[in-house]
Amino acid sequence: MMEIRLQLSYSGFALDVDLHLPGRGVTALYGHSGSGKTTCLRCIAGLERAGDGFVRINDEVWQDSRSGLFVPPHQRPLGYVFQEASLFAHLSVRANLAFGLKRTPRAQRRVDMAQATELLGIGHLLERHPQHLSGGERQRIGIARALLTSPRLLLMDEPLAALDSQRKSEILPYLERLHDELDIPVLYVSHAQDEVARLADHIVLLSDGKALASGPIGVTLARLDLPLARGDEAGVVIDGVVTAYDAHYQLLTLQLPGSASTMRVAHAPLGVGQALRVKVQARDVSLSLQAEEHSSILNRLPVTVTEEIAADNSAHVLVRLDAGGTPLLARITRFSRDQLQLHPGQALWAQIKAVAVLA
């Protein structure tokens, strides 16, 4: 468990958060520019000193201002990944990685060179110099260097923000591997909701230096009382389990958690029993009073209406649905809402294209 209480004031900005976060997995600090994400991360690292602060990472206290305790940054067992990798240009990739490794006494090393290079897929780059690497390759080297300090906490400050969409798509699978294969808690700062939906287990929504919400990613993204639900990127994440694969049509069948319902997803082969996270955006969910069998839409789920709010577009509404225990959001027009006579408790069908499900 991580316990983080921080109060810090600048001219025109104040950070005031009190967070209790999981001690494992990926926690995303999410919010618009200026919401306090990076300031929060820098206070946890000790690069900024909160006037009133308490930072406990699992069984270690790094700051307790009321008792005068403040562990300096170089003594905190953490790795920090910035937007830019900031590699040493005069050193090879191997030497850059060795710099991170040497920071940790041999007896305390939990990640070795072979493991870090394999996890990040950089074994073929070890003899190159930074000027001969792509942006995505440099960032993977930076992440590997941070891991080689064997941190008890990994801080990542918008590590993909400087990359184009192609480089982002190249590096995201490596970040997923870190999540799946390393038992190191991660605090991940981002303003990109799709990134957060793909990587995070827990999300903290920050705005103007305060935490509007903190909770599991699936539950929090589905809340209609938060700004996340009103934007065009609104949607939910679903952690399902593969129950079948149709090789001819390249479609996975995914069992929804705690539900008898399944979804079909256009995806590469995965074995039965494997977990897969998908995102279903509210704008890709349509609603019907009946299951339309003769349709190109493959996913038709029985749902119940639980709640409705106005969207950011006055012609639209956001509807929260319950698909047998799995929450969904639908963004529809007010006209469609009235035609269907939607109301809480109403049973109907949610329709989602298989190609629209983001896996």
Please provide the average confidence, as pLDDT, over all residues in the chain.
93
**The pLDDT value given to residue 160:** 93
**The pLDDT value given to residue 180:** 87
How many CA atoms lie within 13 Å of 121's alpha carbon, on the beta-carbon side?
12
**The pLDDT value given to residue 124:** 95
Residue 293 has φ and ψ, to the nearest 5°, of -75, -35
Higher per-residue confidence, 149 vs 108: 149
Q: Please name the residue that has the structure tokens 């480089």.
A: 167
43 conformational bin, left if phi > 0, alpha if psi -120 to 50, beta if neither: alpha
Question: The dihedral of CA 42, 48, 50, 56: what is its sign?
Answer: positive
Mean pLDDT of 168-186: 90
Mean pLDDT of 271-288: 95
Q: Which whole-number Å values give the CA distances from 17 to 60, 146, 263, 291, in the listed order? A: 19, 26, 38, 46
Return the closest-CA partner of residue 204 out of 24, 4, 27: 27
From CA 95, how far away is CA 142, in angstroms rounded?
12
- Indicate the helix (H) or strand (E) that contains 196: helix 193-199
Q: How confident is the model at residue 295 (pLDDT cuts 50, 70, 90)?
A: confident
DSSP helix/strand/coil, 250: coil
pTM listed for this prediction: 0.90
Q: What is the pLDDT of residues 111-168, one digit of tens each?
A: 899 999 999 999 999 999 999 999 999 999 999 999 999 999 999 999 999 888 888 9
Q: How confident is the model at residue 31 (pLDDT cuts 50, 70, 90)?
A: very high
Mean pLDDT of 207-221: 95
Q: How confident is the model at residue 291 (pLDDT cuts 50, 70, 90)?
A: confident
User: Which domains are assigned to the chain?
Assistant: 2-229 (3.40.50.300), 235-356 (2.40.50.100)
Mean pLDDT of 250-276: 93
Q: What is the pLDDT of residues 61-96, one digit of tens each?
A: 999 999 999 999 999 999 999 988 889 999 999 999
Q: What is the pLDDT of residues 301-315, one digit of tens each?
A: 999 999 999 998 899
Helix, strand, coil percentages for the chain (3-state, nearest 5): 30, 35, 35
**The pLDDT value given to residue 137:** 94
Cβ neighbors of 131 (< 8 A, separation 6 or more) are 89
pLDDT over 90 at 99, yes or no: no
What is the CA 345 to chain-centroid distance, rounded? 31
Return the closest-CA partner of residue 172 out of 180, 160, 162, 184: 160
Mean pLDDT of 338-357: 96
**The pLDDT value given to residue 201:** 95
Mean pLDDT of 5-13: 93
**The pLDDT value given to residue 268:** 93
